[in-house]
Amino acid sequence: MVEWLSDNRAGFAAVIVLLLVAMFIWSIVLGRKQAVLTAKDEVFGDPQRTRGGWYWALSGVATLMLIWFYFSWGIGRAYFPTAANEMCQVAKLEEVVSPIKAALPIGSRYYKSTLLVARNSDQLDTVEAELPTGAFTSPEQAKLKALTSNVRSLIVNSSNPKNLSREATKKLDQIVFQLNALSMELRGGFEGFSPTAKALAQPKWGTTHVEIPILPITARGMLFDGVATKAREVATLFRKIRNHPPANVTIIADVKARIAKFKKVNASGKFDKKTDADRVAYVKAVERIFRRLDDGTIFPANSLDGVNGAIAGLDAARDHARGSLGTIEAIFFPGIGVVKSRTQCTEQGSARWLPKPMDVIATFFKLANPDIEGGGGYKGVPLLWWKWLPVADLVDFFTPDWIADLWPGEYTRHGTDGTISPNFKDRLLNFARGDLYLGSIPALDGHLWDSVFRVLVAMGLGIFLGVPLGLFMGVSRFFKSFFDPLIELYRPVPPLAWAPLILTIFGITDDGKVFLLFMVAFAIMVISARTGASGTQLSKIRASHSLGASDRQIMWNVILPNALPEILTGVRIAIGVCWGTLVAAEILAGTTGIGFIENIARTVSDYELIWVTILIMGMLGLLFDLIMRWVIDKTIPWRGKG
Amino acid sequence: MADLVCEDLNMAFTNPQTGAVVEALKNINFTLQKGELLSVLGPSGCGKTTLLNLIAGFLNPTSGTASLGGRVIDGPGLERGMVFQQGALFEWLPVSKNVDFGLRMKSTDPAHSRQLVEKWLDIVGLQGFGDTPTYQLSGGMQQRVALARCLVNDPDLILMDEPLGALDALTREKMQSLVLELWKETGKTIIIITHSVEEALLLGERLFVMAPRPGRIHKEYNLPFAERGLSETLREVKQDKEFNEVREEILTMIWDMEEEIMGRG
């Protein structure tokens, strides 16, 4: 069932996109109607004009979803499920031809030869101009000038069409002929082609980790795949072709000998340090240029015109053979398109980092599946599930081991017969260590629960300790002045700046993260409780004094309830900040948690999973805030009415 | 026995920055018999509220003493109830919990408290409002709650700091009648501070007109209007010739004081 849903996600996407478009149009029509109805009652600027308008919210959601579908290629995949596979086959041809194109104006504006000539001539000019006259004797200088001029003549000879060997000419003609044949093949159409059974058995686009199935699954794809295979031979032929004019052969030998001679003199060790360095550097510079010119990669410009034209013809044939695919790609697949690199075809552009909505949903369900053996959860932990928690673990957590140490007497020693009979003190220690079976209770489990649990524990501690301190700081000069420096010193430091230190001290367990979040929550709770307490109206305090209340009674019955709105607002803010800090802390260190998932997903570039974690975090943050708003509405209805 | 006696009361405030000393009250001497109704009137800055805060025990005098029933006042106490300009109600509690606040603080038996609360809500005209949140009440009703909250503790002396200042004219007149009624029925000693000359005349059996710099009692009147207000309607009292004469006299007096302040300032 799940597999069937997963395999047909493109079909569902097609239906959903249609529904979204319908919703978009319908809500706009409705909105326009309402706008006409209310236009007379409200003047511009009247705040009433912002009320209601759920239909615009609908159109907003529809727009957002459609943009997501479009730029993630979700719409493209929904209506053209084979397009990416065909684009992949075209990309195969592109991949093969790109080394040829790179040497030609069609691929890189200039012939590669032209660029080589320009670059090497420039460097020869520089080398000649910068001859260190102090380091070489006059006869040597003359010899060096002759040497560089020899090197330069390599360029001159290579550029002359007359020097192009018959063999090279023949090979170039052969390349042109083969390229033209491929063009003809592309123009011949793809009738009679049919995909192999193996190709058809591939997983569908996006259903596995391999994004786009690589074997051709359409007739058109077969055509391109075949042409690409043949073009590979042409590209190899082109790569191996060299231009070695006969005159250059002798020059190359001559230059090599001269350079060797200079090197020998340099190595004789009769120069001082600086002269030696100058001589070695100069000879090396000349040799570097020479090395680039002795491999016959410079061709006369016009000799490659034929290949350039044939490639242009192949491009035209490619566009012809692509037919409607070109238009579909331009409209429905924004970005760079499909690129083939080594063993796989990948989506490039927005679709690369923006996963399709259906894939995100599929990833979410996979993550939310509590069946770990069945591939659910993440790294062996479910997203949100329950487990049997041994009561002994709780006992271990809450009872410190030194309780057993306090019991009078000594721990058992092994007897002379090599046996041990535990006494009460031993049993007490076992109990404190949680080293016994006390049954199990069901408890929540999973990445999501771990994250929420950390926030809740930290918030609980922050409220429990921060609110009383804040209230006392709001009413007492001593408390205010004594604790103010402490809190104001650590609070302005961004929580994430504390993270590395605290996580290093506490390690990757929950303690460090909870402590970090506690620091955040504590400061916010202290400040909000303090503000609330110090904002109590003097007349209320005086009234309660007059009514015979003691200081403690005033604290509990007047100052605390009076500060409640501020305290709850503080809780609302603190939960938000804690949530933000937690994710960052989990990214820094940890083995569970929603931030942990995102961090691991990042390292393997699993964009679907990254987006799933982002959406989960957003939803949970929103949920926290809604709960707090509800709590505030229910518990302090007098807020702002005192 | 429950007389309020003020002897040589002095109150000086020192500005901590400049060291300047302001004499808020100087040589205040008066005795208030049990059951008397005193209203205090004066231009702003004459020390009316300071006087009230001293008697309530929120401030300690620089010198001199105030004593109630022979006991020197050195802090707030249940025997001196206070009603503030803005009710100073606890908005997180409903009306009944506001009223029985003082009783709860001294752990009175809840059944007894309930009886008392109902009785006093009845008297101030708020029967059936016990469970209403205070923030849903109008200004006049809030002041009634404040009165009930104060009276439920059966104080010897009731201090009112401009209790009706924030109310609209109509509500104010009704509340003035209520204060007079309560005075008559309970026989409590009441000090009421007000800005309004008319209110001071209507509610004052005795009336102090205070003058500023230093704050002192400028003139004292013994007036019949409060007594008359118990039998006649307040509007009738206000139309009385004598009432108008005294009002004009006091208005002129305060006007002159204000002029003097402005001239000196």
Please indicate, yes or no, whether residues A186 and A222 belong to a single structural domain of this protein. yes
Query: For residue A285, is it within any domain?
Result: yes
Q: Report the C-alpha gap between B108 and A595 in whole angstroms.
A: 55
Q: Residue A641 has what pLDDT?
A: 65
A558–B90: do the CB atoms touch at under 8 Å? Answer: yes
Closest residue of A to B148, CA-based?
A547
Helices (H) and strands (E) in chain A, counts: 29, 4
Contacts of A562 in chain B (CB under 8 A): 90, 92
Q: Which ipTM was obtained for this model? A: 0.91
Residue B163 has what pLDDT?
83
| Mutation target among B60, B90, B131, B160 for the A interface, most CBs of A within 10 A | B90
Structural contact between residues A367 and A612, judged by C-beta atoms closer than 8 angstroms:
yes
Closest B-chain CA to A538: B88
Are residues A39 and A119 located together in one domain of the fold? no
Which chain B positions have a beta carbon within 8 Å of A561's beta carbon?
90, 92-93
Residue A323 region, left (φ>0) first, then alpha (ψ -120 to 50), else beta? left
Q: Which of A537, A539, A545, A547 to probe by mutation at the B interface, max B CB count within 10 Å?
A: A547
* Residue B173 structure tokens: 């007149």
Using CA atoms, how far apart are residues A282 and A221, in angstroms rounded to an integer? 55
The correct answer on CATH 3.40.50.300 for the domain covering B4-79+155-264 is: yes
CB contact under 8 A, A546 and B106: no
- A549 shares its domain with A488: yes
All residues of chain A having their beta carbon less than 8 Å from the beta carbon of residue B142 are none
Question: Which chain A residues contact residue B135 at CB under 8 A?
Answer: 638, 641-642
Look at B92 and A547 and tell me if their CB atoms are within 8 Å. no
**Pairwise CB contact (< 8 Å): B84 & A539:** yes
A217-226, B36-45, B120-129, B203-212 — most confident range: A217-226
pLDDT of residue B28: 85
Contact call for B78 and A540, based on CB within 8 A: no
Bridge partners (DSSP) listed for residue B157? B80, B189
Q: pLDDT grade, residue A209 (50/70/90)?
A: confident
Domain boundary among A425, A443, A461: A443
Using DSSP, state whether A422 is helix, strand or coil: coil
- Examine the domain organization and report whether A517 and A403 are in the same domain: no
Distances (CA, A) of A575 to A170, A177, A365, A467, A513: 76, 71, 27, 15, 14
Q: Is A349 helix (H, G, I), strand (E, B) or coil?
A: coil
Whether residue A377 contacts residue A383, with contact meaning beta carbons closer than 8 Å, is answered with yes
Q: Is the dihedral of CA A196, A202, A204, A206 positive or negative?
A: negative
Q: Are residues A428 and A547 in the same domain?
A: no
pLDDT score at B265 = 47
What's residue B254's pLDDT? 85
Q: Which pairing describes strands B157-161 and B80-83: parallel, antiparallel, or unpaired? A: parallel
Task: Give φ, ψ of B170 to 5 degrees.
Answer: -70, -50
Distance CA B133, CA A637 (A): 9
Cβ contact A546–B77 (<8 Å):
yes
CB B117 within 8 A of CB B130: yes
Beta-carbon contacts below 8 Å between A and B: 73
Neighbours of A402 (CB within 10 A): 9
Reported as type and span, the H/E element at residue B15 is none
Q: Which of A398, A422, A443 is the last residue of a domain?
A: A443
Please give, rounded to a whole number of angstroms, the shortest distance from the CA of B162 to a CA of chain A.
13
Give me the half-sphere count of Cα atoms (radius 13 Å) on the Cβ side of residue A575.
20
Residue of A nearest to B59 (CA): A542
Which residues span the domain enclosing A99? 79-354
Residues of A with CB under 8 A from a CB of B: 537, 539-540, 542-550, 553, 557-558, 561-562, 564, 636-638, 641-642
Alpha-carbon distance A579 to nearest alpha carbon in chain B (angstroms): 31
Q: What is the mean pLDDT of chain A?
A: 90
How do beta strands A344-348 and A440-445 pair? unpaired
Measured from the Cβ of residue A600, the count of other Cβ atoms closer than 10 Å reads 17
- CA A519/CA A578 separation, integer angstroms: 9
Give dist(CA B146, CA B87) in Å, integer. 5
Nearest to B163 by CA among B188, B191, B194: B194
Measured between beta carbons, which residues in chain A are less than 8 angstroms from residue B81?
546-547
8 A C-beta contact, residue A345 and residue A82 = no
Q: Does A456 lie in the same domain as A429?
A: no
Which of B80, B84, B92 is nearest residue A543 as measured by Cβ atoms? B84
Confidence band of A230 (pLDDT split at 50, 70, 90): very high
* Interface mutation target, options A539, A541, A546, chain B, most CBs of B under 10 Å: A546
Q: Would you place residue A296 in the very low, low, confident or very high pLDDT band (cuts 50, 70, 90)? A: confident
Q: What is the 3-class SS of A532-554, one letter each residue?
A: HHHCCCHHHHHHHHHCCCCHHHH
- Across the interface, do A545 and B78 touch by the CB < 8 Å criterion? no
- Interface of chain B against chain A, CB under 8 Å? 56-58, 75-78, 80-82, 84-86, 88, 90-93, 101-102, 105-106, 133-135, 146, 149-150, 153
Distance from CA of A628 to the nearest CA of B (A): 19
Same domain, A185 and A207: yes
Asked whether residue A128 is domain-assigned, the answer is yes
C-alpha count within 13 angstroms, C-beta hemisphere, residue A88: 23
Name every residue whose Cβ is closer than 8 Å to that of residue B43 and which is 6 or more positions away in sequence: B211, B212, B254, B257, B258, B261
Q: Decide if A362 is inside a domain.
A: no
Residues of chain B with Cβ-Cβ distance to A550 below 8 Å are: 105
Indicate yes or no: CB of A542 within 8 angstroms of CB of B56. Answer: yes
CB contact under 8 A, A546 and B86: no
Sheet holding B21-32, edge to edge: B21-32, B4-14, B63-68, B71-72
Q: What CA–CA distance (Å, rounded) separates A590 from A586?
A: 5
pLDDT for the residue numbered B2: 60
B84-105 pLDDT per residue, tens = 888 788 989 999 999 989 888 8
Which of B91, B132, B134, B161 to substitute to test the interface with A, most A CBs within 10 Å? B91
CA distance A539 to chain B (A): 6
Q: What is the 3-state secondary structure (H, E, C) of B72-129?
A: ECCCCCCCEEEECCCCCCCCCCEHHHHHCHHHHHCCCCHHHHHHHHHHHHHHCCCCCC
Nearest CA in chain B to A548: B78
- Give the closest-approach CA distance of B131 to chain A in angstroms: 14
Minimum Cα–Cα distance from B100: chain A residue: A547
Question: For B21-59, what is each residue's pLDDT tens digit?
Answer: 888 888 888 888 888 889 998 887 788 888 899 999 898
Contact B92 A638 (CB under 8 A): yes
Contacts for B253-256: CB closer than 8 Å, 24+ residues apart: B253/B209, B253/B218, B253/B219, B254/B41, B254/B42, B254/B43, B254/B197, B254/B209
Q: Of A119, A143, A155, which Cα lies nearest the Cα of A282?
A: A143
- Whole-angstrom CA distances from A76 to A3, A287, A334, A337 are 22, 55, 9, 12
- The model's pLDDT over A366-416, given as tens digits with 9 standing for 90+, comes to 899 888 888 888 888 888 888 888 888 888 888 888 888 888 888 888 888
The answer to whether the beta carbons of residues B82 and B149 sit under 8 Å apart is: no
Structure confidence at residue B264 as a pLDDT band (50, 70, 90):
low
pLDDT at A308: 93
On whether both A341 and A238 belong to a single domain, the answer is yes
Smallest Cα–Cα separation from A352: which of A107, A71, A24? A71
Same domain, A342 and A410: no
> Which residue in the block uniquely carries the two structure tokens 């007497």?
A409
Per-residue pLDDT reduced to its tens digit, A463-502: 999 999 999 999 999 999 999 999 999 889 988 898 888 8
Same domain, A332 and A464: no
In this structure, the number of other CB atoms found within 10 A of the CB of residue B225 comes to 23
Alpha carbon distance A157, A393 (integer Å): 85
Alpha helix ranges (H) inside A433-537: 447-475, 477-490, 495-506, 510-534
Give the lowest-confidence range in A447-451, A479-483, B255-259.
B255-259
- Residues ≥6 apart with Cβ < 8 Å to A93: A224, A227, A228, A231, A318
Say whether pLDDT at A642 is over 70.
Answer: no
Question: What's the rounded Cα separation, in Å, for the pair A574 and A277?
Answer: 66
Region B192-213: mean pLDDT is 86
Query: In this structure, is the dihedral angle defined by the CA atoms of residues B132, B134, B135 and B136, taken in order, positive or negative?
Result: positive
pLDDT of residue B197: 85
Buried b (16+ CB within 10 A) or exposed e, A149-166: ebbbebbebbbeeebbee
For residue B159, give the chain A residue with the closest CA. A546
pLDDT tens-digit map of A102-131: 999 988 899 999 999 999 999 999 999 988
In this predicted structure, the answer to whether residue B225 has a pLDDT above a threshold of 60 is yes
Answer yes or no: is pLDDT of B128 > 90: no
| Paired strand residues for B233 | none
Where are the extended beta strands (E) located within A105-216?
none
Task: Please give the tally of structural domains in chain A.
Answer: 4
* Chain A interface mutation, best of B50, B74, B101, highest count of A Cβ atoms under 10 Å: B101
Residues contacting residue A359 through CB under 8 Å, at least 6 positions apart: A9, A206, A608
Smallest CA–CA distance from A560 into chain B, residue = B92
Closest CA–CA distance from residue A70 to any residue of chain B (Å): 53
Claim to verify: residue A459 and residue A432 sit in the same structural domain: no
pLDDT tens profile A560-601: 999 999 999 999 999 999 998 988 888 888 888 999 999 999
- Would you call A638 and B133 a contact, using CB atoms and an 8 Å cutoff? yes
In angstroms, the CA B29 to CA A233 distance is: 120
Contact A546 B80 (CB under 8 A): yes
CB pair distance less than 8 Å for A564 and B92: yes
Query: What's A366-420 look like in SS3?
Result: HHHCCCCCCCCCECCECCCEEEEEEHHHHHHHHCCCHHHHHCCCCCCCCCCCCCC
CA-based nearest distance B105→chain A, Å: 5
Partners of B28 in the beta sheet? B9
- Token representation of residue B99: 């009223």
Please check the confidence at residue A319 and state whether its pLDDT lies above 90: yes
Residue A99 to residues A328, A600, B134, Cα–Cα distance (Å): 27, 36, 84
Instruction: Tell me which of A415 and A233 has the higher pLDDT.
Output: A233
Residues of B in contact with A641 (CB under 8 A): 91, 135
Angstrom distances, CA of residue A216 to CA of A203, A352, B98: 12, 21, 82
* For B104, nearest residue in chain A (alpha carbons): A549
Those residues whose C-beta lies under 8 Å from the C-beta of residue B166, and which sit 6 or more positions away, are B85, B86, B139
Inter-chain CB proximity A539 and B88 less than 8 Å? yes
The reply to whether A54 and A86 lie within a common domain is no
Please check whether residue A563 lies inside any domain of the structure: yes
Q: Is the pLDDT reported for residue B146 higher than 50?
A: yes
Answer whether the bond into residue B61 is a cis peptide, omega within 30°: no
The rounded distance, in Å, linking the Cα atoms of A209 and A604 is 11
Find the residue in B nearest to A549 (Cα). B105
Please name the residue that has the structure tokens 């201090």: B159
Cβ atoms of A632 and A569 closer than 8 Å: yes
Residue of B nearest to A640 (CA): B135
**What tens digit of pLDDT does each residue of A524-558 get?**
999 999 999 998 888 899 999 988 888 999 999 99
CA B157 to chain centre: 10
pLDDT digits (tens, 9 = 90+) for B167-188: 888 888 888 888 888 888 888 8
Residue A505 lies in a domain: yes
